[in-house]
């Protein structure tokens, strides 16, 4: 056990693949952090879209408001999105291998995003009455997840990023890896070996190392991919296992609760 490891950052991404928001504290629900990835963009076929194909999504900043969120383009054109911006009708969409029943936004909202991307897209919202299941190969039958790629939360230690940056000509930030939780005061890649941890009042199962992709090469400040394929290229030199490149650990919460910056982290197993 260690009580020296602490939580240094909490980040939510209200709309999947848009910029994140750092918080001082956050409610943990079974599907993830309270405001995390409960909305996403889909194309006309209902297929989710991300920075993998549309890196410019990184340029859309997000702020929490009393009634929802405000999304802004680089030119500061913005749009407010709240509960009233979603219709009662539900549609079927697809994220990875999962089919989900979701709420769809109004034409005004959809047009705003469509104009930014120069293609027809719709904003959709998670329906808690139709939860999305996690991968049963790594979780329990009742485990659920928001529109995150596979699991409710992602945790990365600052030491792991520091280790990577020591090998890069141009350092990258934690924003390239889009974690929910960042931790301090541990060795690099200490999270790799975790099975169960307690952060503040919440117990998490550490279920799977996070496999990475081309999205890590998107510069969060320019919305463009690295010309040299970094940091993915460097990671692949020393973090590849059986064809997958890993960085960070996926977590599944075992109870609800609140996380706060500087919470201690107890390694249970």
In a domain, 147, yes or no: yes
Q: What is the pLDDT of residues 101-158, one digit of tens each?
A: 999 999 999 999 999 999 999 999 999 999 999 988 898 999 999 999 999 999 999 9
pLDDT bracket for residue 1 (50, 70, 90): very low
In a domain, 118, yes or no: yes
Number of domains in the chain: 1
Residue with tokens 């280790």: 163
In a domain, 161, yes or no: yes
End-to-end Cα distance, the chain: 8
Residue 42 has pLDDT above 60, yes or no: yes
User: By the 8 A CB rule, do 198 and 183 touch?
Assistant: no
Largest Cα–Cα separation, the chain: 52
Average pLDDT of every residue of the chain: 95
Residue with tokens 């709240």: 82
Task: Give CA–CA dist 110/108, Å, rounded.
Answer: 6
Domain span at residue 129 reads: 6-267
Return the CATH number at 197: 2.40.33.20
Q: What is the pLDDT of residues 168-203, one digit of tens each?
A: 999 999 999 999 999 999 999 999 999 999 999 999
Q: What is the DSSP string of 120-177?
A: -EEEEEE-TTSPEE--TTSS-TT-EE-SSSSSSEEEEEHHHHHHHHTT-SS---GGGT
Residue with tokens 């000509």: 169
Query: In a 3-state reduction of DSSP, which class is residue 79?
Result: strand
Joined together, the tokens standing for residue 188 give: 């690099």
pLDDT bracket for residue 76 (50, 70, 90): confident
Q: Give the residue from 264, 262, 253, 261 showing the smallest Cα distance to 28.
A: 253
The one-character DSSP state at 47 is B
Q: Give the residue from 142, 146, 141, 143 showing the smallest Cα distance to 128.
A: 146
User: Does 169 sit behind a cis peptide bond, omega within 30 degrees of 0 on the bond before it?
Assistant: no
In a domain, 1, yes or no: no
In a domain, 159, yes or no: yes
């Amino acid at each position: 056990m260690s009580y020296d490891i602490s939580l240094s950052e909490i980040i939510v991404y209200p709309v999947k693949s848009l910029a994140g928001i750092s918080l001082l504290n956050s409610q943990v629900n079974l599907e993830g952090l309270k405001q995390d990835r409960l909305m996403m963009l889909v194309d006309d076929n209902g297929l989710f879209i991300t920075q993998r194909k549309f890196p410019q999504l990184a340029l859309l900043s997000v702020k929490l408001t009393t009634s929802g969120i405000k999304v802004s383009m680089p030119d500061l054109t913005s749009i407010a999105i709240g509960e009233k911006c979603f219709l009662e009708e539900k549609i079927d969409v697809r994220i990875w291998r999962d089919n989900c029943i979701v709420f769809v936004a109004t034409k005004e909202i959809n047009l705003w995003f469509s104009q930014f991307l120069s293609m027809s897209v719709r904003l959709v919202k998670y329906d808690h009455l139709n939860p999305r299941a996690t991968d049963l190969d790594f979780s329990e039958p009742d485990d659920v997840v928001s529109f995150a790629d596979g699991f409710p939360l992602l945790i990365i230690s600052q030491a792991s990023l520091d280790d990577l940056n020591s090998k890069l000509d141009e350092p990258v930030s934690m924003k390239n890896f889009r974690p929910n939780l960042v931790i301090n005061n541990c060795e690099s890649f200490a999270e790799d070996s975790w099975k169960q941890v307690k952060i503040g009042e919440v117990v998490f199962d550490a279920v799977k190392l996070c496999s990475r992709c081309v999205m890590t090469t998107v510069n969060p400040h320019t919305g463009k991919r690295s010309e040299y394929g970094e940091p993915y290229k460097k990671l692949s030199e020393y973090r590849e296992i059986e064809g997958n490149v890993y960085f960070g650990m996926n977590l599944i919460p075992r109870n609800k609760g609140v996380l706060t910056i500087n919470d201690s982290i107890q390694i249970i197993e």
